[in-house]
Structure 1
Amino acid sequence: MKNMSILVLLGAALLLVNTDASYSKAITINPTGTAALLDGRCGNDDEWHAATKLELPHQAFVYLMHDDESFYICAKGEATDTAVLDLYIEHAETGYLHKFHLSAQMGERVFTDQGWSDPETWILKDWAGFWVPYFGNEDSENGKRPKFYTGLHRQVQVLRKKFPGNTWNMMFGVSIKRDGKWMDLRYPEKAEDEDKSTWATFAFSE
């Protein structure tokens, strides 16, 4: 009985060590005292100056921050780029994967055992964002086509009550259009949208 009690204590200690080790590997999301304004702009001289800043290739950046109620993310490229953001978050209790897409439209999809759900375009449940603005038409080889504003950034605000816990498993897909060509970037670099084991763990700094 004594030996069994020792084994139980050792098991509990190992579990605690593993939990602490997992948490220590998490990327810290900086707190903010100012809620983000979803205006398509994030930089070092506005409320995003407090954010955790991740640098991607080709001068693209992702900003992350939080307050007590919300998680904020912003993706940006160079001054004349068009940026598209795909934010993926795992629901820790259901195991479902949620994808938030921001381009000329906004929408959410959920990945379950049945695959990806149909996109819920413009149905925003506990989240909001800043999409790519449209302003008129421009001439192309195929005639008129929509013209989209360049230089603004993609922003998402997710209410923290939507996902449980103070650590979230996430990945980001950022597509940058520069000089007429698209570049697809991911963080982590080798993350796969349907394989949450390839994502990164992020912790809210309380």
Structure 2
Amino acid sequence: MKNMSKLLLLCASLSFVTSEANASEVIAINSTNKAPLFDGRCDKEEWQSATKFELPAQTSVYLMHDKYSLYVCAKGKSEDYAVIDIYIENAETGHLHRLHASAQLSERLFKGKKWSEPDRWNLKDWSGFWVPYAGTEDSEDGRRPKFLKGSHREMQVLRKKFVGETWNIMISVSGIYHEKRSTAFSFPEKAVDTDKSTWAKFSFAY
């Protein structure tokens, strides 16, 4: 019985979610009592309590929260950039928000017609660990910026930015090297960025 109890506690501390999500399901985001350090790594002990789901090509996404924030981390392979886009519906306005972290951080809005132009570095109640600059390299067009592969993409969204204990979310991870090309994967797998009905419901578990 003791061994069974330990097993149940272990399963509760790290939840695994498949890339398929039923629209009627509500996925619980595990809580944490310590905010993670944004250092480009989500495989350390500080992310062990997170809700985790697997995407193709050895890509993983971790989510956890505390009283004030939602924390997200996307992990790829050593050859990946792991660019992340988090789409969240604003339940008050009905607008969709796209929070983006690549070499820059930016936010876009969708009000029913098309996504707005990116508002770069003017961050309102969120932040993230962008893809680090790693010098320059030669190309056919001359010298160009080079960015560090293999770091993980972390993001923090203050819970006051969106109302409620349940959020409608889509997550996309791009810059993933798969089958000899750079590609992107989403959760839910068949989610569409402009169709919130295809997204997944996430709740803040305690």
Q: Which residue of 2 aligns with 1:145?
A: 144
Q: Which residue of 2 aligns with 1:190?
A: 190
Q: Find the structure with the greater CA-based Rg.
A: 1
Shift in Å, 1:178? 2.7
Q: Which residue of 2 aligns with 1:156?
A: 155
Distance across 2 between alignment mates of 1:55 and 1:89? 20
Distance across 1 between alignment mates of 2:29 and 2:48? 13
Moved beyond 4 Å, runs of 4+: none
Look up the equivalent residue of 1:36 and give its one-letter code: P
Residue-by-residue CA offset, 1:161-186 (whole Å, 9 max, x unaligned): 00000000000111134387311111
Distance across 1 between alignment mates of 2:23 and 2:160? 20
Q: How many residues align?
A: 184
Distance across 2 between alignment mates of 1:184 and 1:145? 23
- Residue range with higher mean Cα deviation, 52-61 or 73-82: 73-82
Distance across 1 between alignment mates of 2:116 and 2:148? 29
Distance across 1 between alignment mates of 2:117 and 2:80? 29
Q: Is the 8 A contact 1:53 1:62 kept in 2?
A: yes
The 5-angstrom pairing of residues 23-62 of structure 1 reads: 25-43=25-43, 45-62=44-61
Could you say what secondary structure the match of 1:161 adopts? helix
Cα 1:190–1:24 shift into 2, 3 Å: closer
Residue-by-residue CA offset, 1:10-55 (whole Å, 9 max, x unaligned): xxxxxxxxxxxx9982011000011021111101x32111100010
Distance across 1 between alignment mates of 2:196 and 2:135? 39
Q: Is the 8 A contact 1:23 1:203 kept in 2?
A: no
Structure 2 residues without counterparts, runs of 5 or longer: 1-21
TM-score (norm 2): 0.84
Shift in Å, 1:65? 0.2
Distance across 1 between alignment mates of 2:31 and 2:24? 17
Which is richer in helix? 1
TM-score (norm 1): 0.84
Shift in Å, 1:114? 4.6
Over the matched positions of the two proteins, sequence identity in percent amounts to 58
The 5-angstrom pairing of residues 1-206 of structure 1 reads: 25-43=25-43, 45-178=44-177, 181-206=181-206
Could you say what secondary structure the match of 1:197 adopts? helix
Give RMSD over aligned pairs: 1.8
